[in-house]
Chains A and B, each alone.
Chain A
């Protein structure tokens, strides 16, 4: 079945460091891929998405490229801020037409000043 695997956290970085959170997936067909973010005390928010191979999603300085050949959707940011501290979830849309999301386990990012 479809699944998503994320790098385990927590990830601790200093402000202005480069961030990579790895995400790989297993899926039949051609899923859409997503990154969601959950800030402390808040609900899940869509960060970015890509709907087909080689698409690049970007938002708030974060980027991720849909790589079909490596079945990956790694999240990157060139210079993190303390305000980026949150839990990041990689997800894919399931097969069929339900649109339901299958999530990775989440990666906690802590950025220190």
Chain B
């Protein structure tokens, strides 16, 4: 696609439920990143994919967070047993191909845990 696409754009969920956030990167981009943007916390790196592999998962805050990428394209970030502190905007980004190492961001998925 023309840009990084994320869904849903907004999600309200009850504490304890699982959520899945989807990212469709720019076509041809081999690298994919997930970040989290919280009030007062800035932008935190979560995980990096190169193709379908995740060589850097160092930012995942707990084992309730996981992510996968299939076909070198779409990625899903899953948060199990959501907590109120998980409320944030989850940003996906991609790079590679003809755009080189410039990273392009999607508009984010705003997650609210109530």
Contact = CB atoms under 8 A, between A and B. Distances in A.
Contact of A101 (B50, B103, B107, B108): B103
Contacts of A46: 102-104
Nearest to B104: A46
A102 B46 CA distance: 11
Nearest to A46: B102
Interface in B38-64: 42-43, 45, 48, 50, 55-56
Interface in A67-113: 89, 93, 98-106
B48 to A, nearest CB: 5
Contacts of B48: 98-100
Contact of A100 (B42, B45, B107): B45
B55 A98 contact: yes
* Max chain A Cβ within 10 angstroms of own Cβ: one of B42, B95, B108: B42
Contact-residue bracket for chain A? 10 to 19
Nearest to B96: A99
Given A98-B55, A99-B95, A101-B45, A49 B102 contact: yes
Contacts of B77: none
Contact of B56 (A36, A42, A45, A100): A100
A103 B105 CA distance: 13
B64 to A, nearest CB: 21
Given A43-B105, A103-B42, 16 more contacts: A36-B105, A43-B91, A44-B91, A46-B103, A49-B102, A89-B43, A93-B101, A99-B95, A101-B33, A101-B43, A101-B93, A101-B103, A103-B43, A104-B42, A105-B42, A106-B43
Interface of A: 32, 36, 42-46, 49, 89, 93, 98-106
The 8 closest A-B pairs by CB, nearest first: A43-B107, A103-B43, A44-B105, A105-B42, A98-B48, A98-B56, A99-B101, A100-B48
